Amino acid sequence: MPTAPTSPTNLLNWQSDGRAVPTVADGNRYLIGGEIREWKGLASEVKSCLFFNQNGVIVRPTLGYAPVLDANEALEALHAAQKAWDNGQGEWPTSTVAERIAAVEAFVVRMKAVRETVVELIMWEIGKNLADAQKEFDRTVQYIEDTIVSLKELDRKNSGFTVEKGFLAQIRRSPFGPTLCMGPYNYPLNETFTTLIPAIIMGNPVISKLPRFGQLLNTPLLEAFRDCFPAGVVNIINGKGSEIIPPILQQGGVELLAFIGGSKTADQLKTYHPKPHRLKSILSLDAKNLAVVLPDADIKVTIPQLVAGALGFNGQRCTALKIIFVHRSRVDEVVNALSVAVNNLQGGLPWTKGVSLTPLADLNAAKWLRELIDEAVLMGAKVMNEGGGDVIENFMHPAVVYPVTSEMRLHEVEQFGPVIPVRAYDDIAEVMEYAVETQFGQQVSLFGYDPKVLGPLIDAMVNQVSRVNLNVQCQRGPDTFPFTGRKASAEGTLSVSDALKRFSIRTLVATDYSEANRDLVNDIIAARSSNFLTTDFLF
């Protein structure tokens, strides 16, 4: 059995290496209506998910305090967004595309200035390792810059006129109105911004509710949001979702909901709106992405991809590989190689060079993961790597669990943590049956090289999931690729260019092609009296 060089018990020896705790003294603030407010009510103590052994006692540093807003304050955020919208006549929704781009560009400059602070907080709040925390920040900046490029391109395409069947029309895109954005804790910066930025750049005022974990890391950006956008365009609120979100939606004033999280919550959110048909939704939800190791898979390619795919950020990714199907002819070899590779991963503090395994962001997650493993073991599975599933505090050493069968919860549920269920299959029909039966439909990774096997398998899989990866792990990026899912995994698509379309609606100005109307359109353009009806060309 492969040994565990970083046995969880060794973690008891984790000492603070002297790295300063990034205390956020002004975390108890939020942004409403262009005003950064300090919350006088209940605040939550934000503790690091990292823990240290100090003279035999486990301590978890306090990073600061975050507001726990109440329903009244949350409604103020809605009212501020509605005021900025002003029935579609506000400064922001009627501004030119160029003006909105300029505001976002100014914001990016300010954002880049706080990179180090935000990266540090990503590590301390949710335990993401340094390389991945830096990647999250840089990728977000890149996403915003790509969004600007994409919007310019979109606007250039829409800056002309269409003459069709006696009509003259200009077809552009316009905003929906007040938008509620909620990102997840595993990408508290990136996935907060990949909805917020496209929403505002298309002219929608936003209420952004920060995730459960990863609130303080957004604090250094409050001033930039306040300074770069008109009052009420960006409202950032914190608090318990179940208390502050229902009142916002029940008012009926939210036109667009962008939510990245669990499907049960998404279902619940939609019911709060008095006119669910009116609430447009963009949802990125649960997933149980499968890897399929075919008889001719290359072990040297497959194992590193399986490990990265299943254990990147300790498996706390919606795109993580969450079940692995291995052809029976290769299963012993794959399970053994996987176990060795997993036990070669280094656990520790996020900034330590080479560390990939870190404490879980949700302090209760290890308990639930342990339950899933214990149940599987009771039903006949084994933990195949030494120390797999061992828990100390909120750190879990990853477990390779085999053989997993359909009665076990691990076979069905999204574990969202460092547990790798492996199932052997004899016939590819068993894999397809799983892909068809599961309620999820995000992605699959296929490992093998036989075109006669892979061709038909791709054809079958593309109607079950929205991305088929060949000899590579499942993932969202590059962010210009469409990111979506079938069945319970998503509603709408969130690539750079798709998001711009999803957060806006095609809208046109049309007239019949009479001389008077042609002159009228020309006069509006010449007088520059409309920001919508214009032939301005963005470079």
Q: How far is the CB of 315 from ligand G3H (least distance, A)?
A: 10
Residues 414 and 322: beta-carbon distance below 8 Å: yes
HSE-CB at 351 with a 13 A cutoff on CA atoms is 15
Tell me which amino acid residue 418 is: P
- Per CB under 6 A, does 208 bind ligand G3H? no
Nearer to ligand G3H, 178 or 492 (CB): 492
Alpha helices (runs of H) in 389-486, residue ranges in sequence order:
409-412, 428-437, 451-461
Measure CA 354 to chain center. 25
**What residues from 380 to 399 belong to the interface with ligand G3H (CB under 6 A)?**
none
Mutual angle of helices 190-201 and 130-157, in 10-degree steps: 20
Q: How far is the CB of 143 from ligand G3H (least distance, A)?
A: 11
**What residues from 233 to 272 belong to the interface with ligand G3H (CB under 6 A)?**
none
E strand or H helix that includes residue 307:
helix 299-311
Work out the number of other CB atoms within 10 angstroms of the CB of residue 325. Answer: 24
- Per CB under 6 A, does 160 bind ligand G3H? no
Q: What's the rounded Cα separation, in Å, for the pair 466 and 483?
A: 8
Q: How far is the CB of 135 from ligand G3H (least distance, A)?
A: 9
Cα-Cα-Cα-Cα dihedral sign, residues 335, 336, 339, 341: negative
How many residues contact ligand G3H, by CB under 6 A? 8
Q: What's the rounded Cα separation, in Å, for the pair 513 and 127?
A: 62
* Angle 107-477-214 from CA coordinates, rounded to 5°: 55
Nearer to ligand G3H, 321 or 335 (CB): 321
Residues 40 and 59: beta-carbon distance below 8 Å: no
Nearer to ligand G3H, 28 or 415 (CB): 415
Identify any residues that bridge with 469 across adjacent strands, giving them in sequence order. 445
> Phi and psi (nearest 5°) for 300?
-70, -30
Q: Which of 475, 489, 493, 504 binds ligand G3H (CB under 6 A)?
A: 475
> Phi and psi (nearest 5°) for 163?
-115, 120
Q: What's the rounded Cα separation, in Å, for the pair 91 and 117?
A: 32
Q: How far is the CB of 319 from ligand G3H (least distance, A)?
A: 4
Q: How far is the CB of 186 from ligand G3H (least distance, A)?
A: 5
Q: How far is the CB of 11 from ligand G3H (least distance, A)?
A: 25
* Peptide linkage before 403 cis (omega within 30 of 0): yes
Alpha-carbon Rg of the chain, whole angstroms?
Answer: 25
Nearer to ligand G3H, 187 or 395 (CB): 187
Quick note: the x/- pattern for ligand G3H over 23-52, rule CB under 6 A, is ------------------------------
Nearer to ligand G3H, 186 or 195 (CB): 186
Q: What's the rounded Cα separation, in Å, for the pair 69 and 92?
A: 26
**What residues from 276 to 295 belong to the interface with ligand G3H (CB under 6 A)?**
none
78: nearest Cα among 247, 319, 293: 247
24: nearest Cα among 73, 54, 59, 67: 67
Nearer to ligand G3H, 150 or 442 (CB): 442
Q: How far is the CB of 373 from ligand G3H (least distance, A)?
A: 22
Q: How far is the CB of 266 from ligand G3H (least distance, A)?
A: 15
Nearer to ligand G3H, 132 or 155 (CB): 132
Identify any residues that bridge with 327 across adjacent strands, giving them in sequence order. 425
Write out the two tokens for 317: 């990714």
Nearer to ligand G3H, 186 or 305 (CB): 186
Q: What is the DSSP letter of 69?
A: -
Nearer to ligand G3H, 319 or 438 (CB): 319
- Per CB under 6 A, does 446 bind ligand G3H? no
**What residues from 176 to 195 belong to the interface with ligand G3H (CB under 6 A)?**
186-187
Q: Which stretch binds ligand G3H (CB under 6 A): 24-32, 290-298, 368-376, 469-477?
A: 469-477
Residue with tokens 């460092």: 418
**What residues from 116 to 145 belong to the interface with ligand G3H (CB under 6 A)?**
none
Residues 419 and 398: beta-carbon distance below 8 Å: yes
Nearer to ligand G3H, 455 or 478 (CB): 478
Q: How far is the CB of 212 from ligand G3H (least distance, A)?
A: 14
Q: How far is the CB of 466 from ligand G3H (least distance, A)?
A: 13
Q: Which stretch binds ligand G3H (CB under 6 A): 99-107, 373-381, 402-410, 472-480?
A: 472-480
Q: How far is the CB of 391 from ligand G3H (least distance, A)?
A: 23
Q: Which stretch binds ligand G3H (CB under 6 A): 274-282, 354-362, 368-376, 473-481?
A: 473-481
Q: Mark 294-310 as b/e (b = at least 16 C-beta within 10 Å).
A: beebeeeebbebbbbbb
Q: How far is the CB of 139 from ligand G3H (least distance, A)?
A: 8
**What residues from 305 to 344 belong to the interface with ligand G3H (CB under 6 A)?**
317-319
List of residues contacting ligand G3H (CB under 6 A):
186-187, 317-319, 475-477
